[in-house]
Amino acid sequence: MDTMFTVEESNLICIYAGESRSEVIEDIEKALPYLDDTDMEELSNRIIRKQQNMIDEKFEQLEFVVIE
């Protein structure tokens, strides 16, 4: 599955940048209960779903940079 991330998704992934795909997923899941913004919750859940559907090797090939 070829998963593409939007600019917003990429920027959020940069905040949680970890050593592995599973670490990023885990960190985002830990933050979910503290989000008071529905849009941020939706964005976070969308990132989690996309990352769960990709393999580690594909994630490791991606380069995430904050885009303004």
DSSP 3-66: ----HHHHHHHHHT--SSHHHHHHHHHHHGGG---HHHHHHHHHHHHHHHTS-HHHHHH-----
Residue 67: both structure tokens together:
């885009």
- The DSSP call for residue 1 is -
Contacts with 51 (C-beta within 8 Å, 6 or more apart), sequence order? 3, 21, 24, 25, 59
pLDDT tens-digit map of 9-62: 999 999 988 788 999 999 999 999 999 999 999 999 999 999 999 999 998 888
The pTM of this model reads 0.84
Residue 60 has a CB neighbour count (10 Å cut-off) of 11
Of 3.30.70.20, 2.60.120.260, 1.10.10.1850, 3.30.1330.180, the CATH number of 7-61 is: 1.10.10.1850
